[in-house]
Amino acid sequence: QCLYQFLAFVPPSNESLRKPGTASVMVDTQHPLTLLLNSSVGDKDLCKIQYHFGEFGNYSLVVKTLSTSTQTVSCDLIINEGPINSYLPILFAFLVYMGILAILIAGRLLMKIDPVRNWVYKKLNPRATDRMINSELGSPNTTDSINCDPTPHPWSTASRRRLHSLDTFRGLSLVIMVFVNYGGGKYWFFKHESWNGLTVADLVFPWFVFIMGTSIALALGSMLRWGSSKWKVLRKILWRTFVLILLGIIVVNPNYCLGPLSWDNLRIPGVLQRLGFTYLVVAALELLFTRADSGTWEGRFPALQDILPYWPQWIFILVLEAIWLCLTFLLPVPDCPRGYIGPGGIGDFGRYPNCTGGAAGYIDRLLLGEKHMYQHPSSGVTYQTTMPYDPEGILGTINSIVMAFLGLQAGKITLLYKDQHKQIMSRFVIWGIVMGIISAILTKCSKEEGFIPINKNLWSISYVTTTSCFAYILLLLIYYLVDVKNWWSGAPFLYPGMNSILVYIGHQVFANYFPFKWKMQDSQSHAEHLIQNLTATTLWVVISYILYRRRIFWKI
């Protein structure tokens, strides 16, 4: 539903020289395009062709006049040079990483041979690093180092064992996030969707929020069991929130590209800011209603013991979601239809060019000011929007809180069914199915035609239910492989998962420095971009591994 945009003027042919009029243009290859040919006389539509062009292909649209009197023409699309297979670099990169993995597995098998292992140990003398410290966004450990009380506690070793699946999940999300932020090889599916829809890049931030919620449940319960008062825990929550927001505003601020940072152009929302505020709300909500003893619930419906005892929390979350729905669909926005959630610009046939994001954009512009928002939203590429719009804005924070709360639910399941792997995994499956059903209803299983489309810019509720569905299923698989069967240690994602704040801030601060970035010979080459982006991402994994081996963990 986009307005047609002027592409080129084709001059009339030169009859005396029998030379046709020609015009050369470049077109986008991400989406199918509709080419409309108009007559310069009378503005009559002569022909319309819809086609999905391929990367670096060369095409000709040959137009021939069949009847001058009726202005009838024929339009034929000819492929002069076929498009390239732009996915071959991905295949090559996959094979390279699989080769490295095969070498590592072979090395591990060799280490099981006693003479080889003894020789290596004698040469390297490695030190074990089994003792993990808390991760910075809430430890998934069921113990916490905040309490230095040496008094022994009657919990078993199994209950104190760290769940490596949570660090692995967080690390996987972070690695994909780093790769995407560095460019993702310039592939469209490693970029954020322009408006409605979902790409790989749109999955990682909500997954990070989800696992943060899971960690909150385990960390707070641990601290309270070890004797920390709720006031002491609350002070720690407030401090973490303050540091995260401060880091987001001062250190990781995209408006640095506009010059020295000043209040005039300071972007107030951001990824770390949203993480900090979401952490504050969900952690405070859990702290208010959690108990130091997480024994079995004795009430009715024991199958719902991870939900019913926490009904005040659910009421709070449902009220928050009702607020989001009311503001999104009922708040009057000047010069925009009520309930509009479109991209504005040339979308919706250009009827609402200044309505990008509807109520969400309006609230941010009203409360923050246009200069304190993100200036280059993803909607500007396809829909040519001119209004600033912040994907980490105020209204969307409500649904990020909902996302973290769904992750909190996964943490409660892990606590309530401690070491009961079948119970934990079955509940992950149930929650994944429920979230998937809700998503199917809200979206009508379509990209554009649903009641509430999946939209990362808006953080729509369907976006939350869809990504949480994927999160539950992915966490189930990692939990089964890492913590139940011990078939996988979680490497290499475990290492950045245990130093997530350092890796996230580091990859942002050093994004434009060698060896994370260098001048390329061909800026249009997927292969060169992919090599650069994968190299940078791999370097951060290596850095996090070195820090892990040296027991260096940056926590807030």
Residue 386 belongs to what domain range?
164-176+195-256+263-294+302-484
Q: What are 468-481's pLDDT values in tens digits?
A: 999 999 999 999 99
The answer to whether position 456 is within a domain reads yes
Query: Is the backbone peptide bond immediately before 12 cis, with ω within 30 degrees of 0?
Result: no
User: Encoding tokens for residue 253?
Assistant: 């601020």
Residues 375 and 465 in one domain: yes
The answer to whether position 373 is within a domain reads yes
The answer to whether position 548 is within a domain reads no
For residue 79, the SS3 value is: strand
Total structural domains in the chain?
2
For residues 371-397, average pLDDT? 90
Average pLDDT, the chain: 86
Among residues 58, 84, 110, the one where a domain terminates is 84
Task: Tell which wins on pLDDT, 169 or 257.
Answer: 169
The answer to whether position 525 is within a domain reads no
Beta bridge partners of 77: 61
Please list the active-site residues.
192
pLDDT band at 150; cut points 50, 70, 90? very low
The residues, any chain, with a CB within 8 Å of residue 312's CB and separated by 6 or more, are 289
Q: Which residues of 464-473 are buried (b: 16+ CB within 10 A; e: fewer)?
A: bbbbbbbbbb
Q: What are 219-274's pLDDT values in tens digits?
A: 888 888 888 888 999 999 999 999 999 998 887 766 555 556 677 778 889 999 99
- Residue 294's pLDDT is 54
The answer to whether position 359 is within a domain reads yes
pLDDT band at 299; cut points 50, 70, 90? low
- Residue 411's pLDDT is 93
DSSP string, 108-161: HHHTTSHHHHHHHHHHH-----------TT---SSS-TT----------HHHH-
Give the CA-trace dihedral at 99, 100, 106, 110, to 10 degrees.
Answer: 150
- Residue 292's pLDDT is 58
Sign (positive or negative) of CA dihedral 195, 196, 200, 203: positive
Q: Would the pLDDT of 144 be above 70? A: no
Residues 79 and 168 in one domain: no
- The separation between the first and the last C-alpha atoms of the chain, rounded to the nearest angstrom, is 46
Q: What are 490-549's pLDDT values in tens digits?
A: 989 999 999 999 999 999 989 888 999 999 888 888 999 999 999 999 999 999 999 999
* DSSP code for 196: B
The answer to whether position 528 is within a domain reads no
Among residues 449, 484, 519, the one where a domain terminates is 484
% of residues, the chain, pLDDT over 70 = 89
- Residue 463's pLDDT is 97
- Residue 307's pLDDT is 84
Among residues 40, 60, 84, the one where a domain terminates is 84
Q: What are 78-92's pLDDT values in tens digits?
A: 999 999 899 999 999
Residues 56 and 204 in one domain: no
Residues 172 and 64 in one domain: no
For tokens 């070498």, the residue is 103
The answer to whether position 182 is within a domain reads no
Q: Would the pLDDT of 163 be above 60? A: yes
- Residue 253's pLDDT is 67
- Residue 464's pLDDT is 97
Task: Tell which wins on pLDDT, 69 or 91.
Answer: 91
The answer to whether position 148 is within a domain reads no
- Residue 265's pLDDT is 79
% of residues, the chain, pLDDT over 90 = 57
For tokens 């690390």, the residue is 171
Are the C-beta atoms of residues 352 and 342 closer than 8 Å to each other?
yes
Q: Would the pLDDT of 139 be above 50? A: no
For residues 403-421, average pLDDT? 92
Helix axes 271-289, 311-330, angle to 10 degrees: 140
Amino acid at 161: R
The residues, any chain, with a CB within 8 Å of residue 509's CB and separated by 6 or more, are 251, 252
- Residue 14's pLDDT is 75
Q: Would the pLDDT of 148 be above 60? A: no
User: Encoding tokens for residue 178?
Assistant: 């780093």
